[in-house]
Amino acid sequence: MSQTTNFLDEYEGAAGSCGDSSPFVCEYEGSEYAGAVCLHFNAFEVQSAMYKHAPDDLVLGYTRTMMNFLIFNQQPHYIGMIGLGGGSLPKACYRRLPQAIISVAEINPEVIALRDHFFIPEDGERFAVLCEDGAEFVRRQRGQFDVLIVDGFDGTGQPPQLCTQRFYRDCYRSLSPQGLLVVNICDAQDLIPRIRRPFRNQVIVTDIDARSANTIVFAGKGDILTKTLWPPRPQPVQQVSRYFGGATREAPSPRCEDHT
């Protein structure tokens, strides 16, 4: 059952409640997440975080890295997302890209039920949350998305249907001719070759920092990656960091895949 709990006062209760991996919300009063509302599937890992005083800021570093898709496409028209979580990325796109139509696939209705805790926009003409398997979501698309963001996790990690070769082929087919796939593969380096194959090695891999297990992969259709400078110059990245909230950090260190 979903629940709201104070992390410091009721940590043991939260830990005991999550044996079935049901999502729950913690309100932090201390640690690095002081003043934040966080989504959990267990008591030890934060899935999403939102500052109560600044609900549109991107708190977690990997989300700011994923928003670097704006370096390649500053005005996407159609954005697809897999994984709602606490809505950090959907909200960032909705607030800052008013021209974009955003569709979010989230398989877990309990996660969707928590959307009001994180001020996720209501469904409307340009924003919709679909209770749907992410693999099925991309499979029924063809040439639709200018940007597709994959950040789908459950209580055990990345669902297996979001890790198959077929899934990444379907991601490729769901993109527009100059579309961009952005994936949080989080401690699953074996997925990188599966992404490379349909995208014909048009792939950039970035690590967040030494403390993070998150690895972000940018995979491009057409020449969207090759026509844009990477790594980006420091000034634009700092501007993006300020624009989307949170402390300005150095640009992540990218590593281009070995194509041999």
Residue at 60: amino acid letter: L
User: What is the CATH number assigned to the segment(s) 61-256?
Assistant: 3.40.50.150
Catalytic residue among 151, 154, 170, 190: 151
Percentage of the chain surpassing pLDDT 70?
77
Residue type, 222: G
> Can you say how many angstroms the Cα of residue 30 is from the centroid of all Cα atoms in its chain?
25
Active site residue 151: yes
SS3 130: strand
User: What H or E segment, with its residue span, contains residue 135?
Assistant: helix 134-139
Judge whether residue 189 has pLDDT over 70.
Answer: yes
Sequence spans of domains, the chain: 4-51, 61-256
| pTM more than 0.85 | no
* Least-confidence region, from 9-18, 110-119, 216-225, 243-252: 243-252
**Average of pLDDT values for 102-110?**
97
For residues 220-226, average pLDDT: 94
Query: What are the structure tokens assigned to 109, written together?
Result: 């209705």
Check whether 102 has a pLDDT greater than 60: yes
Per-residue pLDDT of 191-222, as tens digits, reads 999 999 999 999 999 876 656 778 999 999 99
pLDDT, tens only, 22-61: 898 988 777 677 889 999 988 778 889 999 999 999 999 8
User: In the predicted model, is pLDDT for residue 63 greater than 50?
Assistant: yes
Confidence label for 233 from pLDDT (cuts 50, 70 and 90): low
User: Residue 63: CB partners within 8 Å, gap ≥ 6?
Assistant: 88, 89, 92
d(CA 256, CA 240): 22
